[in-house]
Amino acid sequence: MSKTAIVVLSEPKAGSEEALGRVFNALAAAYDFKEANEDVKIIFQGAGTRWPEVLQQESHPGNALYKAVEDKIEGISCGCADVFGANPSGLDLVKDNKIPGTTGLSSFFKLQKEGYSIITF
C-alpha cells in the first residue's frame, strides 16, 4: 500500500484559474488515491490554509470534490494559518514542526520518515 501526503500551497485570494486548477487537481489526486483504497492525507499549508473556508461554500465549483475527500484532510498548518489569517474552519491544526517564532507547521520530515510520498500543489 502506498502512502501519499498531498500538500496544498496555492493561494485562493489570487482568484486565478491557475490557483483553482492547483487545488482542484490536489483534491482530484486525493480522490484518486482514496478510491484505490490507498493511504492518503491532505494538508493545507502556507497561503493554502485559506482554501478550506472557500471550498466549504456550497456555491464553489470545488465543493463537491472537497466534500468527497474531506475525511482525508489531516488539517491545516497552525503557524501558516496564523501568518495568513486563515480560519481553521473546524479542521485540526497541524504543528509537528516546531519552527521558532511560530505555533508550529506540518513536518515534511515526519511525513517522509513515516513513509509518505509528498506531492505539493
The tens digit of pLDDT for each residue in 1-24 reads: 899 999 999 999 877 899 999 999
Residue 15 pLDDT: 78
Query: For the domain 3-120, what is the CATH superfamily, name and number?
Result: DsrEFH-like (3.40.1260.10)
Residue 75 pLDDT: 97
Phi, psi for residue 76 in degrees, rounded to 5 = -120, 145
The tens digit of pLDDT for each residue in 43-101 reads: 999 999 999 999 999 999 999 999 999 999 999 999 999 999 998 889 999 999 999 99
- How is residue 28 written as a grid cell? 482530484
- Measured CA to CA, the distance from residue 76 to residue 42 in angstroms comes to 9
- Measured CA to CA, the distance from residue 71 to residue 104 in angstroms comes to 23
pLDDT grade, residue 26 (50/70/90)?
A: very high
Task: List, in sequence order, every residue forming a beta bridge with 3; answer none if it has no partner.
Answer: 39
Helix (H) or strand (E) holding 77: strand 73-77
